[in-house]
Chain A
Amino acid sequence: SQTIHQWPATLVQPVGSPLSLECTVEGTSNPNLYWYRQAAGRGLQLLFYSVGIGQISSEVPQNLSASRPQDRQFILSSKKLLLSDSGFYLCAWSLGLAAEQYFGPGTRLTVT
């Protein structure tokens, strides 16, 4: 069966510090991968998605970037965090057209 991992679960970082969040999927090959951010009490904002290794599409211009160095690994990064980067970061995967998405447990980021 497929599983998706994210770490860390929680993170407190000062403004201006770098960020690296990792997501890995097990039990499937060539998944579509997604990074979402959810502000407190709000909806799901798609940040990046990837259909294959090295293929990244950005949805929202910001100081975040994403990379997919391996088929089942998706990384979200920032060189300098802003207060507005605080939120619940979710990684998800799916297979193909109109397929359901499965979410990882998420990383709760607080920028102070």
Chain B
Amino acid sequence: QQPVQSPQAVILREGEDAVINCSSSKALYSVHWYRQKHGEAPVFLMILLKGGEQMRHEKISASFNEKKQQSSLYLTASQLSYSGTYFCGTPARGSGNTGKLIFGQGTTLQVKP
């Protein structure tokens, strides 16, 4: 039930682009994206809803392909501040109104000068 993220790790130079994928074996109706900087708590980036539009957070955007049961996070013209671990989260089966999420294993992004 845990979503699978790929790749596990990415190393970029400033200004380069990256894509992080999040796939699920079950039908999705929403996908959440969070970023966690080293030693800090995760921070909410955006939520993708079934049938919704592509979302953006600064120069980070995300898409949601319901048929493929997959979401992708696009980091454009990466900055040093983008470094961290990115997690996707999907509602747990039968979570009802609990808001319970199951998180992927994370993708570590390192942006170098």
Interface residues of A, Cβ cutoff 8 Å to B: 32, 34, 42-44, 46, 49, 51, 57, 90, 94-106
Contacts and interface: CB of A to CB of B under 8 A. Distances in A.
Interface stretch (B18-26, B43-51, B69-77): B43-51
Among A94, A100, A102, the most chain B Cβ lie within 10 Å of the Cβ of: A100
B95 to A, nearest CB: 8
Interface residues of B, number: 25
Interface string B72-104: 000000000000000101010000111111111
- Give 7 closest A-B pairs by Cβ, nearest first: A103-B41, A94-B99, A100-B44, A32-B99, A44-B103, A98-B30, A97-B97
A43 B104 contact: yes
Given A43-B103, A103-B43, A105-B41, A98 B98 contact: no
Interface of B: 29-30, 32, 34, 40-44, 47, 49, 87, 89, 91, 96-106
Nearest to B5: A43
B80 to A, nearest CB: 21
Given A44-B87, A49-B98, A90-B42, A100 B32 contact: yes
